[in-house]
Structure 1
Amino acid sequence: MEDQLLARVARAAGVADLVSVLADRLTPTDLQSLMLAVYAVRADRVSPADLLASYERNRFASPSAADPQLLARFDAAAFGLLGELGYGGVELSPVSPLGTVAAVTEVSQHKVLTTGRNSEVLADSTNVLALESAARRRDLLRRDPRNRDRVRLCASHRLVRGQFFDRPGMLPHFRLLALTTAGRDEGSFRFETTALTEQLDAHLRLLAEGRRQGLLIDRVRVSVTDLSQGIRREALASVLDRLAARHPVVGFAFDDEREQGRGYYEDACFFIHATTADGDELLITDGGFTDWTQRLLSNAKERLLTSGAGTERLITRFAPES
């Protein structure tokens, strides 16, 4: 279907190899200049009436139904808590370099909102925090090639996804609270178990904070998936045991049936689900280990744990009815 569409566009433009010309023969700067000129001409043709009509039908432009005061209140408390736990807050740019997602994952560029300036609107803040983590780790490694200092970062950001969501009320943009922990291999899976314990503990504390703010969060459960063919099973079990002692009302278990995230994460990944007062169990947090900083720094000793909590889902689905 896509090939047929591109063939039709090439015929309409009168250039048989249009995609190749634009992608390979033009420099990024020249392509950017061309796209800016095209969109400038198109923008000049938009009337105020056209603009209003476009605003009302453009799914990317629709405002969120979330209460901004509740989001801001939760974010403020979250940054305070995460700061105490050693995570440095980062206010991310709305855009990142072209290829931020595709260069380190197998996610299609079609799921990203690409701009006309060789950049893309943030689709996953963990990718950008990975870039920031890699930059900070690179500076540490320049001073000491065996540096083991951990870089813990967090960001709350509104993300935009390009794919179509067919569920009622689902928008292509939403707020996510992302955490990353970057460091160096410490042997015996020590970095991984410590980072995983810290991040899961942080996310569970955030849910407890949500309860203190009045969110009607009923049951919470954590499921960890061992992606190591059992090699890391004992170490991962010790993480769950430690967390169960700290959070006795939370359920902890392995999920060996999970398919989502295989090939995206390595060693281990996790979900955190929470149940509403009406009994609906919703996925709130997704996380796992990736090789992104290894690839960004060309250093197999680097380690990275990423996770993201859907704070907008939390606020909208667990808030008491007014």
Structure 2
Amino acid sequence: MGALSRVLRSVGGEEALTGLERLSGSDLTTLLLALVRRRSAGLSGADVLRQYRSDRFVAPSSVPFEVLRAAEDRLLAALPETFSVLGLAPVAPLGTCSAVAEMDQNNVLSTVRGTEVAADPTNALALEAAVRRQTGADDVRLAAVQRVVRAQRFSGAGRFAHFTLFAAVSAGRDRGSLAFERQHFAEHVEFLRAACGDVEFRVTVLDPRFEVVRGDLPADPSRHTGYYKGLCFKVFRDGVEIGDGGFTDWTQRLMGNRKERLLISGVGVDRLATL
């Protein structure tokens, strides 16, 4: 018996889940807030301290703050002046990862107020880029540094339940002959080289037309694709993967316009800081 089946049996079966699903967003929030309030009212200070000691989501970073800050400053200092740096909210609309980036909702921390804890700043930057594009802005370049949380379990060095990501996105309209793609891919590669030092790029071309965008960068034999379209890449330093990026269709789907283009890139600040 799976965990969900066991829980449903204890509260009346599948009908209980169906009934909750039928509630409006505001009614579900009201119910969940009441439930959380009751549960928290029964907690003592000792209970909170016990969770703090054992919960992987709430422990401080194992990377010293000054080391992290130095890596953040290095990334931001190398960012071209054409990028606007945003201070993103710590939460995003519910579905930002699953609906925009097609990530499993179980991999993010959903809240009882119809939002989710930030799991990837590129998703939020894509939302803001879409808003700005809809107001008539030409090419939009945005960046952010954000502490994020991932709910899936990681193992191995440099993998954490919460960590800092640097992200940059470039959004605009198709100009034909892959002109947008060539320009902005070159900008991201140049910036990442300046920010991260002696790094290696490995590129996966998902559409043969993008060979001209790739240029002389080496191919990635692993063919990491994920949610990328056309071309994507990984960034390595000293043999350790510290970042990735590529073209996505997020703004196309957000705006309902197949002419929209979006390039994203991200760097794991914790990994970069410890190399």
TM-score, L = length of structure 1: 0.82
Match of 2:232 in 1: 269
For structure 2, list consecutive stretches of 5 or more residues without a partner in the other structure.
none
Report the Cα offset of residue 78 of structure 1. 2.7
Judged with a 3 Å threshold, the aligned counterparts in structure 2 of structure 1 residues 46 and 92 are, in CA distance, closer, same or farther, namely same
* Alpha carbons of structure 1 residues 306 and 161: separation in structure 2 relative to 1, 3 Å: same
Q: Distance in 2 between matches of 1:309 and 1:174?
A: 11
1:254 and 2:187 aligned: no
Deviations 1:120-147 (A, max 9, x none): 0011110000000000000016xxxxxx
- What amino acid maps onto 2:60 in structure 1? P
Aligned counterparts of 1:78 and 1:169: Cα–Cα separation in 2: 18
CA distance in 1, matches of 2:150, 2:223: 21
Shift of 1:221: 1.1
Give the equivalent residue in structure 2 for 1:109: 105
Aligned to 2:88: 92
- What's the secondary structure of 2:39's corresponding residue? helix
RMSD: 1.6
How many pairs does the alignment contain?
275
41, 52, 64: which one aligns with 1:55: 52
Give 2:255's aligned residue: 297
The alpha carbon displacement at 1:70 in A equals 2.5
Counterpart selection for 1:74 from 41, 62, 71: 71
CA spacing shift, 1:46–1:168, aligned 2, 3 Å: farther
> Are residues 1:171 and 2:166 paired?
no
8 Å CA contact 2:168, 2:264 repeated in 1: yes
Q: Which structure has the bigger radius of gyration?
A: 1
Give the partner amino acid of 2:253: R
Q: Distance in 2 between matches of 1:173 and 1:48?
A: 24
* Residue of structure 1 in register with 2:214 after alignment: 236
Amino acid of the structure 2 residue aligned with 1:49: A
Q: CA deviation at 1:97?
A: 0.5
**Matched ranges for 1:138-287 at <5 A:** 138-140=134-136, 149-167=138-156, 170-208=159-197, 219-228=198-207, 230-237=208-215, 240=216, 252-255=217-220, 257-262=221-226, 264-275=227-238, 281-287=239-245
- 1:39 is aligned to 36
String of CA shifts for 1:40-99, please: whole Å, max 9, x gaps: 111111111111111000010111111212222332343233143x11100000000000
CA distance in 1 between counterparts of 2:142 and 2:158 reads 31
Q: Distance in 1 between matches of 2:148 and 2:182?
A: 29
Q: Which aligned runs of 4 or more in structure 1 are off by greater than 6 angstroms?
A: none
Cα distance per residue 1:27-50 (max 9 Å; x no partner): 011111111111111111111111
Contact 2:204–2:224 (CA<8 Å) still a contact in 1?
Answer: no
The answer to whether the 8 Å contact 1:83/1:89 transfers is no
TM-score with structure 2 length normalisation? 0.95
Structure 2 match to 1:244:
none
Distance 2:59 2:119 in 1: 17
Distance 2:73 2:209 in 1: 39
DSSP 3-state at the match of 1:162: coil
